[in-house]
Structure 1
């Protein structure tokens, strides 16, 4: 399930497309293990191919995208809206739920027509990787399996509710999307200060940053910008055409960090919510 969903998502990544579900999102979810990831993926097929892929990211959020050439298809939009809006079909439960999907699709229009509403804004950001990326100015190392705990510890210290562990790093790295990913750590002297994982979708396609964090004891020293620059350089080395990230618009500090690392904010996006 993971492999074929990730393969479809790779093919749909283009710089002229709106922000959407990325194979790196599936790769990052793989930290919960193969079975949990398989249970969280939703695939829709039509005409002998995959036409839509979703990731149930928690109990109430479906992160979702549609094949670019099928986004105006009325019949597909109705089928998807019926499946996602009906709890008995098992895609999303009853009650308050959320759907993240690309802007400008017939599916989104249909969901609004059915009474779904916009939720809080998110800011996607993009950095073109054609020109070289400037030096981050700090020591940055690529972290492999033998030092997984170094990366995992920084992530845990960067996010208050993080459950990321060495075992979960290995579970993440065992998934097929990680074949096109790097985990990096920036150091403050001998201390691991910031971490990032970057996910390529293949040469000439946008890559994804997921996640980036700065250890709580090393904030305010520029390590967020430094590790983001290192991540952008890593994606460029992997052949990515651009680097993408999306963060809540309310997280002004994160938006400022990405801007400082050469990212440009794209138009805000909103999940759709059904109360």
Structure 2
């Protein structure tokens, strides 16, 4: 039962709250739950530093307990997660819908905006009643890790200080015009979420860095996340994306994850095919919510 005498509040956390936020996101991850904001999403954002990360987060609480978390990923998108036990709570859903939709409450600005809330229930119902519409589809995908993962065919290196330049080079080539840098990598690696994460670089037979990813555990027995994964632009078309996705699954299994998960744009058929070839299986199409300007 929920205490209806405790009001739900929205706040922007401080840097001192970041550990609590990451722990809450990890606690909510489980195999029977839909894809939502993962500790790794916050962990990758941490490359901008703890102050910027805290400023980009929004937290809903009843009293001291965190019920939901939002990450402002750019000026027009909020990515959401909610406590699995409160996903059908109409009071929380109504409060979140009001807070997200009203520019005066400090979540999203007026005009065009997007909300990533990839679960069914009253929150999406309230949002659509308020004029938000489903947007382009995403494909959550997962690879079960109950069995050992075969070799990837690439030489895989867990990134340490001597491999940061290769990690950065692959990312900047794969995601141009990314501003990822060695300084940002160090900031990310210093964050709370990275204690349960690993960066991987894959090398071909000539020793060239051809692919890279970061894997994020939410703790033993919980789904892990690949975010992001990319292939160097000079080395595409050789199956390296599939190979690094297989390697990522193996590392997440070593970290105790129950599955390796990723969410691909439905329109990105190449990415979906890459993950399928690496043993990741679609879990049903989902959609962001969009409000026109």
* TM class, shorter-length: over 0.9
> 1-side partners of 2:156 and 2:163: how far apart?
14
**TM-score normalized by structure 1?**
0.98
Out of 264-273 and 203-212, give the one that drifted further. 264-273
Task: Check conservation: 1:2, 1:26, Cα contact below 8 A.
Answer: no
Structure 1 counterpart SS, 2:199: strand
Q: Does 1:260 align with 2:277?
A: yes
Q: Which runs of 5+ in 1 are unaligned?
A: none
Residues 185 and 194 of structure 1 are in contact (CA less than 8 Å); yes or no, is this contact kept in structure 2? yes
Corresponding residue number in structure 2 for 1:270: 287
SS at match of 1:232: helix
Residue of structure 2 equivalent to 1:128: 144
Take 2:177 and 2:74, find their aligned partners in 1: how far apart are those partners?
A: 14
Residue number in structure 2 paired with 1:182: 198
C-alpha distance in 2, partners of 1:211/1:99? Answer: 20
| Cα distance in 2, alignment partners of residues 172 and 145 from structure 1 | 13
* Deviation for aligned residue 1:138: 1.7
Q: Partner of 1:255: helix, strand, or coil? A: helix
1:195 to 212, 216, 220: 212
State how 1:192-231 maps to structure 2 within 5 Å: 192-231=209-248
State how many pairs are aligned.
275
**2:118–2:287 contact (8 Å) kept in structure 1:** no
Q: Which runs of 5+ in 2 are unaligned?
A: 1-16
1:73 aligns with 2:86: no
1:178-218 alpha-carbon deviations (Å, 9 max, x no partner): 00001011112211000010000000000000010000111
8 A Cα contact 2:97 2:123, kept in partner: yes
Q: SS at 1:65's partner residue?
A: strand
Name 2:23's counterpart in structure 1: 7
4+ runs of 1 displaced by more than 4 Å? none
| In 1, Cα distance between equivalents of 2:291 and 2:120 | 19
- Equivalent residues in 2 for 1:30-179, closer than 5 Å: 30-179=46-195
Aligned partners of 1:132 and 1:61: how far apart in 2? Answer: 37
Distance 2:151 2:284 in 1: 28
Cα-to-partner distance string for 1:140-196 (whole Å, 9 max, x where unaligned): 111113421211111111112211111111111010000000101111221100001
Q: Which moved more, 1:178-187 or 1:100-109?
A: 100-109
Shift in Å at residue 47 of structure 1? 4.5
Q: Give me the whole-angstrom Cα distance separating, in 1, the residues matched to 2:111 and 2:18.
A: 28
Output the CA distance in 2 between the equivalents of 1:161 and 1:22.
25
**1:209-237 alpha-carbon deviations (Å, 9 max, x no partner):** 00100001111111111111110000000
**RMSD, matched Cα:** 0.9
Q: Deviations over 1:83-116 (max 9, x none)?
A: 1110011111001001001321211111011110
Residue from 44, 47, 50 that aligns with 1:28: 44
Aligned to 1:242: 259
1:260 deviation in Å? 0.4
DSSP-derived class of the 1:172 partner: helix
Whole-angstrom distance in 2 between the partners of 1:116 and 1:274: 5
In the alignment, the residues of structure 2 paired with residue 39 and residue 227 of structure 1 have an alpha-carbon distance, to the nearest angstrom, of 33
